């Protein structure tokens, strides 16, 4: 029997509610993962790590990392997808492009 190391990472974002008791915590046995007998938990691949003035910081996702570094009062909102309206029967290759010399170029080239 040898020494076994357990890797445990917890999210440093104070408002992380990854579990009922607090922030997201992921742990695994280092030797078993390195030898291939076990796999690290899938959540481990999403962790973001920073070294802030010599202090290691870990976050369970990119959103929590971004929120941690924002000044108080700032908010992050998800990008909104705005659909581009399509005109019926209109195709990009049908449109003539006006050239600087005033002659239309219908994509045929010179």
Q: What is the pLDDT of residues 39-85, one digit of tens each?
A: 888 888 888 998 989 999 999 888 888 888 888 777 766 667 777 77
Q: What pTM was computed for the model?
A: 0.56
CA 56 – CA 45 distance, rounded (Å):
17
| DSSP class of 22 | B
From the number of C-beta atoms within 10 Å of its C-beta (0-12, 13-18, 19+), residue 64 rates as buried
| DSSP class of 38 | S
Predicted pLDDT of residue 96: 57
Is the pLDDT reported for residue 1 higher than 80?
A: no
Contact 44, 95 (CB under 8 A): no
Counts for the chain of helices (H) and strands (E), in that order: 2, 6
Domain extent listing, the chain:
6-69
């Amino acid at each position: 029997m040898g020494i076994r190391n357990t890797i445990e990472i917890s999210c440093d974002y104070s408002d992380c509610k990854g579990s009922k008791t607090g922030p997201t915590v992921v742990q695994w046995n280092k030797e078993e993962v390195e030898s291939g007998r076990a796999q690290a938990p899938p959540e481990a691949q999403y962790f973001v790590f920073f070294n802030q003035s010599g202090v290691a910081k870990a976050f369970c996702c990119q959103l929590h990392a971004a929120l941690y570094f924002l000044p108080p009062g700032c908010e992050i909102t998800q990008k909104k997808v705005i659909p581009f309206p399509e005109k019926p029967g209109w195709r990009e290759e049908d449109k003539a492009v006006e050239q600087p010399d005033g002659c239309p170029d219908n994509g045929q080239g010179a």
